[in-house]
Amino acid sequence: MILCCGEALIDMIPAPTTDGGEGFVPHSGGAVFNTAIALGRLGARAGMVTGLSSDMFGQQLAESLRASHVDTSRVILTDRPTTLAFVKLEDGHASYSFFDENSAGRMIAEPDLPTLSEEATALFFGGISLAVEPCADTYAALLAREGATRAVMMDPNIRPGFIKDAGRYRERLARMLASADIAKVSDEDLAWLYPDAGDMPAQLAQLRAAGPAIVVLTRGAMGATATLADGTEVHVDAPPVTVADTVGAGDTFNAGLLASLSAQGVLGKAGLRALTPAQLQEALTLAARTAAVTVSRAGANPPWRWEL
């Protein structure tokens, strides 16, 4: 089972109202939540470790997980409120205003964490849950406790406007990346992580030196390039599609990558460090195909396996 560890929240998406004004419609979301949903829809065994509220929005999130065949037995339930992210769309690109203080997801602490059995063979971390405390330190502690014997993927998905203490955040990410087997970043993530490294090749080299066996760089319509532990590069183009918006695109890409690696039987520490270019190409291809479907329709709505 692949456990997605991080935020589940409500995206408040703008929509026209019957009187001609604009309102907001609550959609289940969050970067890590979206990856879990996409994994479940692709047929991979997936679960979540997250904090969910008992309020109406938390119930909506739990129902969305179950509807996409995501295991919720490790969810931490509280009566704190659900995080809300109000979305502004401009030319298909999303910006966010977060309401997250004292939320069910943000306030989980290390003693709240579930015990993981051998059933959990891979862990995925990322999103805003690594930027805000105390949950960021809680997820870092989970990785430190459980990551040595499980495959680990990280997607920092950095949102600079959400970060209060950049130094502390960089230090936390550095510790976690040192334990990761796969790191997926955008060019914007790289520039923020390594502002003094120079050009992109130097930034990528610094990320590879941090510890991950596989580094994946996504560049939107320019496709994705991954580097194996021995330096071999594999590239996939982005399938041509008409873009509705980019909400959830990277999260779906993550799920496609993990689902393919799992189906190939290589989603383990040893398997990832011995990964062949052909195996990586297959995984990147599924990742790109699933992300292309997501961007072709509004919101974070990952495809089911039969849609591919």
User: Domains of the chain: which residue ranges?
Assistant: 2-303
Indicate the pairing of strand 84-90 with strand 46-49. Answer: unpaired
Q: What is the mean pLDDT of the chain?
A: 93
- Is the pLDDT at 67 greater than 90, yes or no? yes
- Is the pLDDT at 57 greater than 70, yes or no? yes
- Is the pLDDT at 217 greater than 80, yes or no? yes
pTM for this entry: 0.95
Find the mean pLDDT for residues 257-276.
Answer: 96
pLDDT at 94: 67
What confidence tens digit (pLDDT) does each residue in 68-108 have?
999 999 999 999 999 998 878 777 666 778 899 999 999 99
Domain 2-303 architecture: 3-Layer(aba) Sandwich (3.40)
pLDDT at 93: 67
- Is the pLDDT at 233 greater than 80, yes or no? yes
Residue 274 tokens, joined: 């011995």
Find the mean pLDDT for residues 19-40.
Answer: 92
Residue 182 CB neighbours (<10 A): 25
What is the percentage of the chain residues whose pLDDT exceeds 90?
77
Find the mean pLDDT for residues 225-249.
Answer: 90
pLDDT band at 263; cut points 50, 70, 90:
very high
- Secondary structure element (H or E) that encloses residue 25, with its range: strand 22-29
Specify the DSSP class assigned to residue 95.
Answer: E
pLDDT at 15: 85
Give the Cα separation of 101 and 97 in Å (integer).
12
Specify the DSSP class assigned to residue 130.
Answer: G
pLDDT band at 260; cut points 50, 70, 90:
very high
Find the mean pLDDT for residues 188-217.
Answer: 92
pLDDT at 97: 84
What confidence tens digit (pLDDT) does each residue in 130-167 have?
999 999 999 999 999 999 999 999 999 998 877 889 99
